[in-house]
Structure 1
Amino acid sequence: MPDFQIPADVQRRNRRKRQVAWVGIAALCVVVVAALVVLLPSGPSVARDSLVIARVRQGVFRVRVQAPGVLRPRGERFVTASVPGTVARVEVRPGDSVAPRTVLVRLVDPHLDSAMISARSDLADARATLASTAAMLDNTRLSMEAELATARDAAEAASLRARAERGLAAEHVVAQLDYRKTVLDATTAREQVGLTEQRIAAFARNQVAQIAAQRARVAAFQAAFAEAQANVAALTVTAGEAGVVQSVAAHPGQTLALGGAIARIASLTDLKAALDVAPSEAGEVVAGQTASIRLNDEGESRIAGIVSRVSPSVEKGSVRVDVKLPARLPPGTRPDLAVLGDIDVTTIARTIFVARPVDARPDSSARVYKLIDGGRRAIPVAVRFGATSANAIQVLSGLAPGDRIIVSDTGDFAGKAMVRIR
């Protein structure tokens, strides 16, 4: 079959036609795109300053449960009346700081005053009786000791006379009868000394017993007087320990019985954080987890603590979680102070997360607006969320690290296919 050669001029015309066709197609595409831009809705316009925008990050994600609460004393002291009386004056009000010797209320009871005066008189009488008894016994003992000394002198003299007459009696100078009488007198004198010594010993034992009895009587009256004094002193009721007055139950004119309620005082140092955790999040909280307690919304003052107790029941729509705090607390901490607690539940080593959008819920799907075109526009994308933290949430799908999304309220343009950001 012979080769057919297309003339060169024909080839040039065909090539020119193809170029014209491609140019026409490109022009048509431009026209179509321009028409779409003009005709399709461009979406609402939103000021950037009115939006909160967050960037999707990847790394270590700490799952935290956030809950409001208040500082509570670990223990409260209820001050009660240790003696009956009538309230004469209330010296404190709820919220007052008190020291151990701060007076809370003053009571009056005339019977206690009279009892103290009577006890003082009885004690003085007992002391006087002890002194007079001791003096009388001492005088008696001294008299008996003088009597003993006289008896000893007489016995010594009789003994000397008997020894002297013994030789004279042998020489018949002194009659035997007189000598025997002298010997009998010496024996009697010695026996008298022994009897006197026995009487003194018995008296000494009796003296000790009488003094002991009188001293016991004085001690009893002294104890009664001390009790009466304590009862009168108890009419002035003090705090007993440093703290803050939580409530005052007594009022002027009120008659208080023994054990009647006066005030409730909370410690300023031994405090705990009582957090109200949502039931949906409380299942992840257990004793021993670390927590951070913020004393203000700005988080300028934080206290590290440990979860010490998780309530087994739901009360008023929340679960009570107690956080143990250190002994040394920052200035300004006091009972009933509102706080915000962050409890560290777990840590996910490598994951994607972002600041928590409004209405985002853990383990759920939602549509969020992702910024495109250099941040000039935002379009809705479907995102699946995972674990949540206090201010962040895990991203399981729908976003990539570096993406930026609107995390503030999007209710004004919800459902729009595109939003322009100016």
Structure 2
Amino acid sequence: MDIPVPKKTSFPLRHKWAIGLLACAVVTAALWASLLDKKTYLERRSVMIDTVKHGALSITVDAFGTLVSAEQKIITAASPGVVIDIKHKPGDVVAPGTVIAQLENADLELDYKRAQQQTAEAQAELQQLDLRQQRELLVERSVISQLEGQQATLSFRFQAQKDLAEQGIISQLSFLETQAQLRSVTGQIDHAKTRLSQLQALHQSTLQVMQKRVALSQQELASLASKVTVLSIIAPHDGVIERMSLDLGTHIAMGDHIATLGDQAGLIAQLQVSQSQAGSVKVGQPVDVFAGEAVLRGEVLRIDPVVSQHSVKVEVSLPEYEHLDLRPKQSITASIVIDTIENTHYIRTPVMELSTQSIDMYKVLEKGHTELVEVQLGQRSERYVEVKSGLQAGQAVVISDLDALAKARQVVVIQ
């Protein structure tokens, strides 16, 4: 007896594809569920955690720079020469009159000696001229004295003969001769006095010319002496040498830069601010300047309008700092306070990229458990960022970059 064998049923191809896709979906769902149930454990030392604070938040722009002298003096060469000695170098503190460097100029020193000789010769000529003039004046005055003596004798004779001539005792001719001689001598005296006056005027003019020559020679000598003196480069006042580009044997021309002397008692901070943040910086804004362990509260003095190497130069005034050891060229950092938000929540700026105002962050719970929360951020600075919602004061939050885990909705436990 024949046993009937049931016929094999075949499914259409599209049914096979549907069953395969359904199986893949079930497997994927199972894997996703297992991933969701999986916890990620992180060591506490490997993550950064900050506590939400409440209060006034200062929005700052961080910058770096150096301390520079508020007042600088440039020392230039007043005489050309060759550097033969360098007594002080950049960084040295100098007092007024301190010799910084020594120059040498053989030609200048020779010119100075020649000027000394010319001045001595001119002074000797002036003395000789004065003696000659005095002698000439003595001769003229002697002549006048002789004539005045003759005039006196003839005057007495004239008076005596006048009475005798009227009485007829002497001839009228003798009286007239005496009268003529008296007039002649009187005329000679007048001419001599006129000649003496003219000679004195000539002497005065000649003497003035010679005195001017001597004065000019003395001025030239003083100028050369000054140039020889300034071959010694001297500090004009207290300060610290900030820059000096001298080498032994270097030829220095008149007017060349010798050194830049900074006032150590008055310093300002010179900061470099990023071009992208410079627009928020205004004159008068407060600045916290960090010089070593010291924190100085300054104020923005000036903003350079020129952009150099993608940064803007900002000058900041500094308060009294006599008790601090600050020096020009000292490296510093600073925070420029561009705004202050009162009565707000804030945390340290997370290290993750903050491209939007809303981010997912892990709030730390008890025993290292965390909760993924959505946090709305507000204004931000280099150090802190405002928290508008999602966190409360005193709560701890992870500020490390866990963005990949947050996007995967991973459960994080901090051990």
Q: Which band: TM-score by shorter chain?
A: 0.7 to 0.9
Aligned-pair CA distance for 1:293: 1.8
Partner amino acid for 1:237? I
Query: Which residue of 2 is the match for residue 180 of structure 1?
Result: 176
Residues 1:139 and 2:135 are matched in the alignment: yes
2:337 to 344, 347, 354: 344
2:296 to 285, 299, 302: 302
Partner amino acid for 1:337? Q
8 Å CA contact retained: 1:379, 1:419: no
Query: Which residue of 1 is the match for residue 99 of structure 2?
Result: 103
CA distance in 1: counterparts of 2:49 and 2:287, whole angstroms = 27
RMSD: 3.2
Percent of counterpart pairs with the same letter?
Answer: 24
1:406 to 375, 392, 397: 397
5 Å-filtered alignment, 1:54-73, equals 54-57=51-54, 59-73=55-69
2:220 to 215, 221, 224: 224
Query: Which residue of 2 is the match for residue 151 of structure 1?
Result: 147
| Change over 3 Å in CA distance of 1:341–1:101 after alignment to 2 | same
Query: Which residue of 2 is the match for residue 30 of structure 1?
Result: none
Aligned-pair CA distance for 1:332: 2.4
5 Å-filtered alignment, 1:103-122, equals 103-122=99-118
Aligned-pair CA distance for 1:302: 0.9
Query: Which residue of 2 is the match for residue 284 of structure 1?
Result: 280
SS in 2 for 1:280: coil
5 Å-filtered alignment, 1:1-400, equals 44=41, 46-47=43-44, 52-57=49-54, 59-74=55-70, 76-296=72-292, 298=293, 300-313=294-307, 315-325=308-318, 331-359=324-352, 361=354, 364-373=357-366, 377-389=369-381, 391-400=383-392
CA shift digits 1:122-168 (9 cap, x unpaired): 11111111112112212222332333233323223322322222222
Query: TM-score w.r.t. structure 2 length?
Result: 0.79
CA distance in 1: counterparts of 2:355 and 2:142, whole angstroms = 107
Aligned-pair CA distance for 1:120: 0.8
CA distance in 1: counterparts of 2:388 and 2:412, whole angstroms = 23
| Change over 3 Å in CA distance of 1:311–1:414 after alignment to 2 | farther
| Change over 3 Å in CA distance of 1:81–1:71 after alignment to 2 | same
CA distance in 1: counterparts of 2:151 and 2:352, whole angstroms = 120
CA shift digits 1:9-66 (9 cap, x unpaired): xxxxxxxxxxxxxxxxxxxxxxxxxxxxxx9667536448985532330x43332222
Query: TM-score w.r.t. structure 1 length?
Result: 0.78
Query: Which residue of 2 is the match for residue 15 of structure 1?
Result: none
| Change over 3 Å in CA distance of 1:136–1:404 after alignment to 2 | same
CA distance in 1: counterparts of 2:375 and 2:37, whole angstroms = 26
| Change over 3 Å in CA distance of 1:383–1:360 after alignment to 2 | farther
SS in 2 for 1:95: coil
CA distance in 1: counterparts of 2:320 and 2:209, whole angstroms = 53
CA distance in 2: counterparts of 1:274 and 1:60, whole angstroms = 27
CA distance in 2: counterparts of 1:352 and 1:414, whole angstroms = 25
| Change over 3 Å in CA distance of 1:366–1:153 after alignment to 2 | farther
CA distance in 1: counterparts of 2:161 and 2:245, whole angstroms = 99
CA distance in 1: counterparts of 2:105 and 2:45, whole angstroms = 75
CA distance in 1: counterparts of 2:321 and 2:135, whole angstroms = 67
Count of aligned pairs: 377
CA distance in 2: counterparts of 1:376 and 1:258, whole angstroms = 75
Aligned-pair CA distance for 1:337: 0.9
SS in 2 for 1:283: helix
CA distance in 1: counterparts of 2:279 and 2:354, whole angstroms = 16
CA shift digits 1:54-108 (9 cap, x unpaired): 2330x43332222111123456544443333222222233322233433233222
CA distance in 2: counterparts of 1:207 and 1:391, whole angstroms = 89
Aligned-pair CA distance for 1:291: 2.1
8 Å CA contact retained: 2:361, 2:373: yes
8 Å CA contact retained: 2:288, 2:295: no
List alignment gaps of at least 5 residues for structure 1.
Answer: 1-38
Partner amino acid for 1:396? K
| Change over 3 Å in CA distance of 1:377–1:56 after alignment to 2 | farther
SS in 1 for 2:298: strand
Which shifted more, 251-260 or 173-182? 251-260
CA distance in 1: counterparts of 2:139 and 2:258, whole angstroms = 63
CA distance in 2: counterparts of 1:311 and 1:333, whole angstroms = 28
CA shift digits 1:174-229 (9 cap, x unpaired): 21111112122222222222222222222222222222122111111111211222
